[in-house]
Structure 1
Amino acid sequence: CEGLPQLDSGGFAGNKTDAFVNVVYEDCVVRTDVIDDTLSPRWMPWTKRAFIFHTMHTSSEIFLGIFDYDGGFGNDHDLIGRVAVDLANLRPRMEYVLDYAIYKTAKMSKRDEQGPQGIITIRLRLDVDDERRMLLSNVLEGPPPRIHVNVESRKDFLCSRYTVTGKYNMETYSIANLNSYVEELMTYSEIRFYIYDALVNLLLWRGHFAINFRVPCSPRDKTTEEEEDDEDESK
């Protein structure tokens, strides 16, 4: 991670954010080791940083939540931000190194107000035994099912919930969530003209460079009038 915010008091004395990453994928919840007192944590090879998941549905997303560890009794881990990784855009048997901006919520208005909370770099690899079955699973199985995960404590529950939904749960009914969806739709309407113009240019091939070319043709016989004109010009 890079550029995480300072969430611990006593930064002047070297007490900085103690970061760890909580990962939720389908029915699995795992977390990395805690990296103490740094705003740019690095997980070395000897730390707990790599995980292998078995996929039940190809449209499932991987949710990553970045937290500041609080070990005191009754204190919850502070949410720094989260990202959601869509595996449907990845090709099998290829290794990806991806950078994501960290936000606390999926709400566009809140993102603009708060700004990114840093950057996280992840490495992914997708191994598939049967690619044909993977492609057909989205059609035959439909959308991913709702999965419930059991955790040991309230702290773990809050970490998992914030990792999946963010600071604001967008699935609950509230006026704030409705306003957020309206704002997002208005944002799409502003760029609708540019999307429409790009599609027209692509489909109708409009706006590209004109190509001029000559069509060769066989010479025709001259008429009597043209021959007389040639004689006058020669004189």
Structure 2
Amino acid sequence: MGVHYFRAAIVRSSFVLIGLLSSVWASADVWYSSPSVLPKRYAHLSLGSQPLDQSWYLHDEAGNQYVAEVDAIHHLGLMLQFPRENGAIEYGFEGGAHVGYNSDRRLFIRLGSESSVVDIDSSLWTGDFSVGTFVSVKPQPWLRFFYAVGPSLYWGKINSDDNEQSDDGFVIDTRSNNDDIGLNIYQRAGVEFTFPNGFSLGASVRHVNATLDFGLNGRVDINEPHYSVLLGSQF
């Protein structure tokens, strides 16, 4: 009698398990066959340059001032846009990051009554992390204009390796690494042309009014527009 009882219990348990698996399988079929409710999102890989065209100042041990020209910073960035819904007019959130670099051996010229020059081997790194909102307009399915604005946390680091002596014997010691960080507002505008496979090609201009103060290693104002070529995709 005990054997028959256990057999009946096993049979009942088997039917219950089969019923549960059938319910889960049916739910999975409905889940995987239903269309996605998420709108298409946009990814932009940017490659560009930011002209600075400004002077960079250093001081030697005697307090003399030297000046050199900083030409440009080269940037690589990734920005993502998350629209609330897809359509001719879209709006939503944008976020991403950029990294910039400039390396050169600069000729510093002494300011004052007597001329003097010194070479400094240095590199400048910049970066920023941005989160904002965007709005876009698509007059055609393959053509899209967008504008974004929001806060940007920016950072800069300068590396100088030389301990050079100028023509008149004064020493400029720049063997140091200095960092600076700040917060400001960024703006970004662009246009992209989308191909049938979902990839896009475009251009953008971006602006962040940033000032990097490296103490004795100088100060750089990064407030010029940043122009980029965009390689885009939808996901």
Say whether the fold is shared (TM-score over 0.5): no
Looking at secondary structure, tell me which structure has more strand per residue. Answer: 2
TM superposition score category, shorter chain reference: under 0.3
With the length of structure 1 as denominator, give the TM-score of the two structures: 0.26
TM-score, L = length of structure 2? 0.26
